[in-house]
A = this chain, B = another copy of it.
Amino acid sequence: MVADSNLLTRLRGSDPRVLPRLATLIENEDPQGLHALESLFPFTGNAHVVGITGPPGSGKSSLIASLVQQIRKSDRKVAVLAVDPSSPLTGGAVLGDRVRMMEHHVDSGVFVRSMASRGRQGGLAWATAELVHLFDAAGFPVILVETVGTGQDGVDIAALAQTTIAVEAPGLGDSVQAIKSGLLEVADIVVVNKSDQVGADDAIRVLRTTLDLAQPPHRPRTPILATTAIEGEGIVDLACAIAAHFSQLEETGELARRRVRALESEVLVALRSSLQRSLTRKSEQSSRFTNAIDRVLRGEMTPRSAAALLSEQLASG
């Protein structure tokens, strides 16, 4: 595939329609969009991808709206990708947020997009990764990805971010839930939002204890920040913590490792989806893959052994 600097110029240029159009084409797996992504891919790998996850009611959307305002003060462009389709950021419920994001809509330095494609092949995490590549190529130095963060999808999406923020709020009874789904373990920064509400101090204390017990002693402590997003409180500190985390990743070389891991994982998701598609096509000619599946169906080998065989075949040559 040949890098297309002409397309890049249009994408980064003054026509605000290019980016949303490409995003739609890529999200729908339209060949034109995928071809464009191919030619833009060499220009990716520069953005700071920040995953923001938390249960409904934790105020993620208000937090993101405030964070966008804060980042814009330093004149950096920001893209926001809301993976939760019910997110108020992109047309949902909360009026205050909508008004706030409307302000950003006239600001060409902010691009807000919602993922609609729950049913897409390969799951939400893959679609998210491809849109992140687009925003990255479009020159956004910061990309915020908002997810509900329950279950596997949340963790998968966290895997493509370089910085993951877990948002909690007092009184949701969700702290334990978040721990269960593995989110706290992958969080680089924990935020207790709605910190003006009763129970915020308790929530922070419980989270601190849980994190300290879970973390190996030689690693830096995961910061826990208190915010009240709708008042803008704690947002400057949060923006600083995000920037500090990025610098730390750069200095230790961890940034490069996280980018590599995210791309490796994306290849594996795409491979699974591609093989799944080949099964539904049921091409008549035998192949290594369908032969292995057939042997499993005849009870001759377990799925695990079939996978080991296929994996060896990919490791040869």
Interface residues, chain A, CB within 8 Å of chain B?
Answer: 1, 34, 37-38, 41-45, 86, 118, 123, 129-130, 133, 150-154, 156, 180-182, 260, 263-276, 278-279, 283, 287-290, 292-293, 296-297, 299-308, 310-311, 313-317
A153 vs B182: C-alpha distance in the bound complex, in angstroms?
12
Q: Are A273 and B307 in contact (CB under 8 A)?
A: yes
List B contacts of A275 (CB < 8 A): 268, 271, 311, 314
A301 vs B301: C-alpha distance in the bound complex, in angstroms?
34
Q: Are A307 and B151 in contact (CB under 8 A)?
A: no
Contacts A152-B152, A269-B303 known; list 8 others, CB within 8 Å.
A130-B302, A150-B181, A152-B156, A266-B303, A270-B303, A270-B307, A270-B308, A287-B316
Q: Are B151 and A123 in contact (CB under 8 A)?
A: no
Closest approach, in angstroms, between the C-beta of A295 and any C-beta of chain B? Answer: 10
Closest approach, in angstroms, between the C-beta of A45 and any C-beta of chain B? Answer: 7
Closest approach, in angstroms, between the C-beta of A265 and any C-beta of chain B? Answer: 8
List B contacts of A154 (CB < 8 A): 151
Whose C-beta in chain B lies nearest to the C-beta of A311? B274
The one of B264, B276, B315 that contacts A287, using a Cβ cutoff of 8 Å: B315
List B contacts of A300 (CB < 8 A): 1, 42
Q: Are A302 and B150 in contact (CB under 8 A)?
A: no
A7 vs B199: C-alpha distance in the bound complex, in angstroms?
56
Whose C-beta in chain B lies nearest to the C-beta of A314? B289
Whose C-beta in chain B lies nearest to the C-beta of A289? B314
A181 vs B303: C-alpha distance in the bound complex, in angstroms?
27
Q: Are A296 and B263 in contact (CB under 8 A)?
A: yes
Q: Are A279 and B303 in contact (CB under 8 A)?
A: no
List B contacts of A34 (CB < 8 A): 302, 304
A242 vs B276: C-alpha distance in the bound complex, in angstroms?
29
Given contacts A152-B151, A154-B151, contact A270 B304 (CB under 8 A): yes
A274 vs B302: C-alpha distance in the bound complex, in angstroms?
14
A308 vs B267: C-alpha distance in the bound complex, in angstroms?
9
List B contacts of A129 (CB < 8 A): 303
Whose C-beta in chain B lies nearest to the C-beta of A180? B86
A290 vs B272: C-alpha distance in the bound complex, in angstroms?
16
Closest approach, in angstroms, between the C-beta of A221 and any C-beta of chain B? Answer: 22
Q: Are A311 and B271 in contact (CB under 8 A)?
A: yes
Closest approach, in angstroms, between the C-beta of A184 and any C-beta of chain B? Answer: 13
Q: Are B304 and A314 in contact (CB under 8 A)?
A: no
19 A–B contact pairs at CB < 8 A? A1-B305, A34-B302, A37-B302, A41-B299, A42-B299, A118-B182, A133-B302, A151-B152, A151-B154, A151-B181, A152-B156, A260-B297, A267-B310, A268-B307, A270-B307, A271-B311, A275-B314, A278-B311, A283-B315
List B contacts of A182 (CB < 8 A): 118
Closest approach, in angstroms, between the C-beta of A313 and any C-beta of chain B? Answer: 7
